[in-house]
Amino acid sequence: MSSGRRWLAVGLEVAVPLLALALWAVLSAGSETYYFPPLTEIFSTFADTWLFERVGSDVVPSLTRMGAGLAIAVLLGVGLGLALGLSPRARRATSPIVEFLRAIPPPALLPFAILVIGVGNSMKVFIIGLVCLFPILLNTIDGVIGVDPTLRETARVYGISRRDRLRNVVLPAATPQIFAGLRTSVSLALILMVISEMVASTNGIGYFVLESQRAFAIPEMWSGILLLGILGYALNGGFALIERRVLRWHRGARASALS
């Protein structure tokens, strides 16, 4: 791209999102439509609601549930994934069960969770943990299987113990693949947090958004949607940053292998 065009590109990159926002603000400014209040009103409601009044009552519980569910999914998923990745026979045995469970659309499992556990926090943590388990589990298995045999043989030649090999060879080598599974699980966790709160909760961001709609508090509803959008964006971005840091060696190794 020529230098002139490059400046145009950078300019557009910055300007277009701002323009879109401005457009929305202008178009909605004189809005009489009930469902689409002026953007300025949404912003002010956002500030009133989420900075910082409802943070403790709704944001914290939501994020805590999500975090707890993800933590369980990671622990179980990586642990089971290591075990299954190392044992072809166990993999063969459990494969049809795992493949079937993973094909069930996650929301279909929500009534099951409500039935068995109830409508409290533990139910939400449970369903998030259960659903987020599968991408991590399957990717861990793939990661373990895909460990370069030369790496393993090197460790064996130098007499590294089985446990040491697992911790210091297999696990690090599988980490890129595990992160790929984690990325999917983080998105799933957010989705399940929202719907579990919409269906059976008395607090949380998801609950707030739906309740606002029911109570026809439209600007509040929009502020909640905006918050969820920001949350989605922040989680995505934060995860990408962490991944970049942790997997720096992987990108370097791949780049040099391709050259």
Partner 1 sequence: MTALSRAAGGGSRAHLPDWLLPWLAVAAALALFDLAPRVGLLPREHFPPISESLAELVSQLGEGSFWTAVGKTLQGWILGLGIAALLGIPLGLLIGSNRLLYRALRGLIEFLRPIPSVALIPLAILIYGTGMQSKVFLAAFASFWQLIVASLYGVQDVDPVATDTARSFGFGPGQRLFRVTLPSAIPYIATGLRIASAVSLILCVTAELVIGSAGLGRSINLARSGGNEELMYALILATGVLGLLLNAIFVKAEKRVLHWHPSQRPLGAEA
Partner 2 sequence: MLRVDHVKKVYGEGNDAVEAIGDLDFEVRDGEFVCVVGPSGCGKTTLLRCMSGLLEPTSGEVRLHDQAIDGPPEKMALVFQEYSRSLFPWMTVRQNVAFPLRRKSLDGAEAKRLVEEAVDSVDLAHALDRYPWELSGGMQQRVAIARALAYQPEILLMDEPFASVDAQTRADLEDLILRVRRQYGITVVFVTHDIDESVYLGDRILVLTPSPTGVQESVDVDLPSPRDQLDTKELPEFTRLRGHVYRSIKRRQSAPAEGGEVQQEPAGAGS
Q: Write out the residues near partner 2 by the rule CB under 8 A.
A: 148, 150-151, 153-154, 156-161, 164, 168-169, 172-173, 175, 249-250, 252-253, 255-257
Q: Pick between residue 176 and residue 204 the one whose CB is nearest to partner 2.
A: 176
CB of 94 to partner 1, least distance (A): 6
Please write down the long-range contacts of 37-46, taking CB distance under 8 Å and 24 or more positions apart: 37/218, 37/219, 37/222, 41/219, 42/219, 42/222, 42/223, 42/226, 45/219, 45/220, 45/222, 45/223, 46/223, 46/226, 46/227
**Which of partner 2, partner 1, none does 252 bind, CB closer than 5 to 8 A by kind?**
partner 2
For 89, counting Cβ atoms within 10 Å of its Cβ (0-12 exposed, 13-18 middle, 19+ buried), the class is exposed
What per-residue string of b and e applies to 126-149 under the rule 16 or more CB within 10 Å gives b? bbbbbbbbbbbbbbbbbbbeebee
Q: By CB under 8 A, name the one of 71, 119, 180, 191 that touches partner 1.
A: 191
Taking alpha carbons only, the member of 131, 143, 141, 140 closest to residue 70 is: 131
**Which of partner 1, partner 2, none does 256 bind, CB closer than 5 to 8 A by kind?**
partner 2
CB of 250 to partner 2, least distance (A): 7
Contact 136, 177 (CB under 8 A): no
Q: By CB under 8 A, name the one of 51, 116, 157, 255 that touches partner 1.
A: 116
Rule CB under 8 A: which residues touch partner 1?
Answer: 1, 5, 8-10, 12-14, 16-17, 20, 35, 86, 89, 92-97, 99-101, 103-112, 114-116, 149, 152-153, 156, 162, 165, 187, 190-191, 194-195, 198-199, 206, 209-210, 212-213, 218, 221, 224-225, 228-229, 232-233, 235-236
